[in-house]
């Protein structure tokens, strides 16, 4: 009788232990989920990406055939891609943002072996399927960060003719004019940027395009005060990343180092100045793009290995 009671007590205890263990695993599981969607029609890396309305646009980049001017548009409601008018010139490592009903591709490099930094701005009108050129950016550069705040495009950092630059220049599409703003404290390239409210966050990056010199710096820019401040550093040094804002947080995806590409997804909360690790990407890569539509971030293209390679990845992250 006693041995039977002991066996019952043992199995009850074991069951409770398993329940507690599974509960702790579920509590510790990273937040968010990923889904794999229809791949891009053409494999690329070092692209520019942005959302306009309910579509994701991917422009330029590097491919098996060299530098491309290709522009592809993704419709999430139909999980379908289509090609639209190409850029006026082939380019890579550019930035892109949307203001009003138009897209703007800023800076980048031309050339496959000798990268020439650009100061061009090209705007795209989906109603006419045409690209037009705007006023030249004051500082030519590629591998920069571009984000939109207050109806203006802010172009920060990058690699210019004489090395890294902390240039911070604002483009107003309404008047086709650039304005030089306060210089970013840490000059760097291959950074990513995102905006919460009006504040722009410049995340990570590297020095002189060398991913062995990755940085974990996180600097915040207030366009109203025209002032930079230091925020909590990234959990690890990263460059070649993509960023987007979601749920009042800045999310950063992917990147590369000499050891390989990253699958990491991390979120920065400006209110608490803390970082949180989220569900990892299905495909680790750098030179990718990210764009948010209706509470989901579409993470596209990129290079699965450090240096030069290409992918047609199209993966979407959400907190649901």
Q: Report DSSP letters for 268-298, one per residue.
A: EETTTTEEEEEPPPSS--BS-EEEEETTEEE
Q: Does residue 35 share a domain with residue 22?
A: no
Domain that holds residue 13: 1-29
Tell me: the pLDDT tens digits for 37-92? 999 999 999 999 999 999 999 999 999 989 999 999 999 999 999 999 999 999 99
CATH of the domain at 161: 2.120.10.80
Q: Does residue 125 share a domain with residue 52?
A: yes
Share of the chain above pLDDT 90, in %: 88
Q: Does residue 167 share a domain with residue 20?
A: no
Tell me: the pLDDT tens digits for 17-52? 444 444 444 456 789 999 999 999 999 999 999 999
Q: Does residue 99 share a domain with residue 115?
A: yes
Q: Does residue 286 share a domain with residue 237?
A: yes
| pLDDT score of 199 more than 50 | yes
What does each C-alpha distance from 146 to 26, 31, 89, 191, 292 come to in angstroms? 37, 27, 19, 10, 15
Q: Does residue 133 share a domain with residue 270?
A: yes
Q: Which residue has the higher pLDDT, 15 or 44?
A: 44
2 phi and psi, to 5 degrees? -65, -40
Q: Does residue 65 share a domain with residue 138?
A: yes
Q: Does residue 213 share a domain with residue 71?
A: yes
Averaged pLDDT for residues 212-220: 98
Instruction: Assess contact for 226 and 179: CB atoms under 8 A.
Output: no
Q: Supply the pLDDT for residue 16.
A: 41
Least confident of 11-15, 95-99, 124-128, 283-287: 11-15
| pLDDT score of 9 more than 60 | no
Averaged pLDDT for residues 171-176: 98
Instruction: Assess contact for 104 and 51: CB atoms under 8 A.
Output: no
User: What is the distance between the alpha carbons of residues 248 and 232, in angstroms, rounded to a whole number?
Assistant: 16
Least confident of 19-23, 229-233, 278-282: 19-23
Q: Does residue 103 share a domain with residue 4?
A: no
pLDDT band at 150 (very low <50, low <70, confident <90, very high): very high
Q: Does residue 255 share a domain with residue 151?
A: yes
- Tell me the pTM: 0.91
Residues listed for the chain: 320
Q: Does residue 151 share a domain with residue 100?
A: yes
Q: Supply the pLDDT for residue 27.
A: 53
Tally of structural domains, the chain: 2
User: What is the distance between the alpha carbons of residues 241 and 5, in angstroms, rounded to a whole number?
Assistant: 59
Q: Does residue 169 share a domain with residue 140?
A: yes
């Amino acid at each position: 009788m006693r041995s039977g009671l002991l066996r019952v007590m043992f199995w009850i205890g074991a069951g409770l232990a398993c329940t507690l263990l599974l509960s702790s695993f579920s509590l510790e599981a990273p937040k968010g989920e990923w889904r794999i969607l229809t791949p891009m029609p053409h494999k690329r890396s070092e692209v520019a990406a942005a959302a306009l309305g309910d579509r994701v646009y991917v422009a330029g980049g590097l491919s098996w055939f060299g530098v491309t001017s290709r522009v592809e548009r993704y419709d999430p409601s139909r999980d379908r891609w289509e090609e639209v008018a190409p850029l006026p010139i082939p380019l890579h490592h550019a930035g892109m943002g949307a203001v009003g009903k138009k897209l703007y591709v800023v800076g980048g490099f031309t050339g496959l072996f000798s990268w020439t930094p650009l100061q061009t701005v090209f705007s795209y009108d989906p109603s006419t399927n045409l690209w037009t050129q705007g006023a030249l950016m004051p500082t030519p550069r590629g591998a920069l960060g571009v984000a939109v705040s207050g109806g203006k495009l802010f172009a920060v950092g990058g690699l210019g003719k004489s090395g890294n630059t902390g240039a911070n220049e604002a483009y107003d599409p309404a008047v086709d004019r650039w304005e030089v703003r306060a210089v970013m404290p840490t000059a760097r390239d291959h950074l990513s940027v995102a905006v919460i409210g009006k504040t722009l966050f410049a995340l990570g990056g590297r020095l002189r395009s060398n991913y062995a010199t990755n940085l974990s710096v996180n600097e915040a820019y207030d366009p109203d005060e025209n002032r930079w401040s230091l925020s909590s550093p990234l959990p690890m040094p990263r460059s070649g990343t993509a960023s987007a804002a979601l749920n009042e947080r800045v999310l950063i995806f992917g990147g590369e180092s000499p050891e390989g590409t990253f699958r990491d997804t991390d979120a920065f909360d400006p209110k608490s100045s803390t970082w949180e690790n989220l569900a990892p990407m299905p495909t680790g890569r750098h030179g990718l793009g990210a764009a948010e539509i209706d509470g989901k971030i579409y993470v596209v293209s990129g290079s699965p290995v450090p240096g030069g390679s290409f992918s047609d990845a199209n993966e979407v992250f959400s907190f649901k």
